[in-house]
């Protein structure tokens, strides 16, 4: 029981940035998809909340100015400016990162309800794809030596 709690905490922590590792791990360890989606969705909401709370404090600091010049933020902003909100939100859980798209959305003055809803929907969609892919492909390989 204690090891499962540690696994859930670890996957929650990893999902604060990107969600694909957690869904793959949950499928590999035979967790229920509802449990996986609950842990990841909670992490997505927490990551968004953390970014919103600290955005006002960090936007004028030298660290945030450096972050705005970082590769991840610049890529997220370019993608956001080129393609718009919905493709950015769709790719945020796997490629761009939850905090990056939240900070870019805050900088672009997008409503937070729209951002959270989009992130939750896209993380569950990506989660379903990744979870099912892992779940059904695991039978093709012999993992008995790993467990």
Residue 147 lies in a domain: no
Distance CA 143, CA 120 (A): 32
Answer yes or no: is 90 within a domain: yes
CA distance 126 to 106: 23
Q: For residue 14, give its domain range.
A: 2-140
pLDDT at 142: 57
Half-sphere CA count of 45, side-chain side, radius 13 A: 11
Give the max Cα distance, the chain. Answer: 52
Average pLDDT over residues 66-73: 83
Number of CB atoms found within 10 A of residue 39's CB? 24
pLDDT for res 44: 92
Give residue 111's pLDDT. 92
Q: What is the pTM of this model?
A: 0.80
> Is there a domain that residue 145 lies in?
no
> Per-residue pLDDT averaged across 11-24, rounded?
84
Q: What is the pLDDT of residues 84-140, one digit of tens each?
A: 889 889 988 888 888 888 888 888 889 999 999 999 999 999 999 999 888 788 666
Query: Into how many domains does the chain fold?
Result: 1
Phi-psi map region of 70: left, alpha, beta (phi>0 left; psi -120 to 50 alpha): beta
Read off the pLDDT band of 146 (50, 70, 90).
Answer: low
CA distance to 10, 13, 28, per residue, from 7 (Å): 5, 10, 12
pLDDT of residue 62: 85
Residue 17 to residues 1, 60, 139, 143, Cα–Cα distance (Å): 26, 23, 29, 28
Domain-embedded: residue 25: yes
pLDDT at site 144: 57
User: What pLDDT shows up at residue 95?
Assistant: 85
């Amino acid at each position: 029981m204690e090891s499962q709690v540690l696994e859930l905490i670890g996957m929650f922590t990893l999902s604060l940035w990107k969600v694909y590792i957690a869904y793959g791990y949950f499928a590999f360890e035979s967790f229920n998809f509802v449990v996986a989606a609950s842990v990841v969705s909670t992490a997505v909401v927490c990551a968004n909340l953390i970014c919103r709370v600290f955005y006002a404090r960090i936007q004028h600091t030298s660290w945030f100015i450096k972050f705005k010049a970082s590769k991840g933020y610049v890529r997220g902003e370019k993608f956001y400016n080129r393609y718009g909100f919905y493709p950015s939100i769709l790719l945020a859980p796997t490629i761009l990162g939850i905090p990056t798209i939240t900070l870019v959305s805050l900088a672009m003055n997008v409503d937070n309800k729209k951002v959270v809803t989009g992130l939750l929907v896209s993380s569950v969609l990506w989660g379903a794809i990744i979870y099912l892919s892992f779940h059904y492909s695991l039978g093709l390989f012999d993992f008995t030596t790993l467990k």
